[in-house]
Amino acid sequence: MNIERPTVIVTGASRGIGYATASLFLARGWEVISCARNPITDIEGFDNKLITHILADLTDTDSLDNFIKVVNSLLEGRALTALVNNAGISPKSHNSERLGCLNGDLDAWRDAFELNFFVPLKLARGFASSLHKGQGAIVNLTSIAGHMIHPFAGSAYSSSKAALSALTREMANEFAALNVRVNAVAPGEISTEMIQPEYEMLIPRIPLNRMGTPDDVARSVFYLCSEDSSYVTGSEIWVTGGQHMS
Ligand X SMILES: NC(=O)c1ccc[n+]([C@@H]2O[C@H](COP(=O)([O-])OP(=O)(O)OC[C@H]3O[C@@H](n4cnc5c(N)ncnc54)[C@H](OP(=O)(O)O)[C@@H]3O)[C@@H](O)[C@H]2O)c1
Interface with ligand X in residues 20-59 (CB under 6 A): 35-38, 56-59
Least Å distance between CB 201 and ligand X? 14
Most distant CA pair in the chain, distance: 53
Specify whether 199 is catalytic: no
The whole-angstrom separation of Cα 10 and Cα 29 is 15
With CB under 6 A as the contact rule, the residue among 195, 202, 203, 232 that binds ligand X is 195
Nearest alpha carbon to residue 35 among 76, 89, 85: 85
Interface with ligand X in residues 104-163 (CB under 6 A): 115, 141, 143
Q: Does 240 bind ligand X (CB under 6 A)?
A: no
Q: Which of 157, 199, 223, 231 is catalytic?
A: 157
DSSP H or E run through 96? none
Specify which residues 141 forms β-bridges with. Answer: 185
Degrees, nearest 5: CA angle 147-167-219: 70
3-state SS, 183-221, equals: EEEEECCECCCCCCHHHHHHHHHCCCCCCECHHHHHHHH
Q: Does 68 bind ligand X (CB under 6 A)?
A: no
Nearer to ligand X, 130 or 240 (CB): 240
With CB under 6 A as the contact rule, the residue among 5, 15, 133, 205 that binds ligand X is 15
Which of the residues are catalytic? 157
Contact residues toward ligand X (CB under 6 A) are 12-18, 35-38, 56-59, 86-90, 115, 141, 143, 187, 189-190, 192-195
